[in-house]
Structure 1
Amino acid sequence: MSKKYIIQNNPFIVPTTDGKTIKEHFGNATTGGSKISIAHMIAPAGWSEPFQIPEFDEYTFIIKGKKQFIIEDEVVTLQAGQSIKIQKNTRVQYSNPFNEDCEYLAICLPAFSIDLVNREE
């Protein structure tokens, strides 16, 4: 009889060049599943990414610190205990312009893929 659950003890640590820590627990890199991805992230103070138009819904739950989102032309700041869902095909920029690290969970439906994120140059 096969188990009906998976305990993830060894998330995939995504290599980055911007100081951000990404540990994917479930998704393309860890389980090869493309339906959902769940990642534990730490964005250092001063971090930002280029604008993007992802082809997936992204849910973010802030554990510690604050994170800034520019969604289309609106600036939204979340802090610990808050969460947000950003619908696919929405232009968004993620950043942490604050003086402390931001720890959060990111859940993408379908799973995050560099081919679906559509980052601007």
Structure 2
Amino acid sequence: MIKSPSKSLAILNSKAPYSSSAGKDALDIALVFGSFEQPVSLFFQGDGVWQLVQGQNGAIVSVKDYLKTFAAFEFYDIEEVYVCQASLIERNLAATFHIEAVQVLDSQAFAAQLTSHHTILRF
């Protein structure tokens, strides 16, 4: 008997924080799925990698700082967080983030991990 893959959700973050509501919307969806114990993984690529950089403050641009909520991932069993290494290199960013357990993947591994999910939502 062939075992069907579990239905999992990948949320791809590709927008800089505070540039639009995309990052906050992605976070809200991740927390909703996590609260219902649905498997969800977060991916950060392109300008989305800026969401993981330490020391940002939304108050400077008069936006509520949603990035602090990333610290709640462990309470929602969100353990799979992936960052595209090429995106970090293009932006000259170090792999130091304000949340733990972030996995930095090369482009090929990032794409393979992303496409292993049943559903992908891009923000």
TM-score relative to the length of structure 1: 0.28
Return the structure number with greater strand share: 1
Return the structure number with greater helix share: 2
Between 1 and 2, higher relative CO (CA 8 Å, sep ≥ 6) is seen in 2
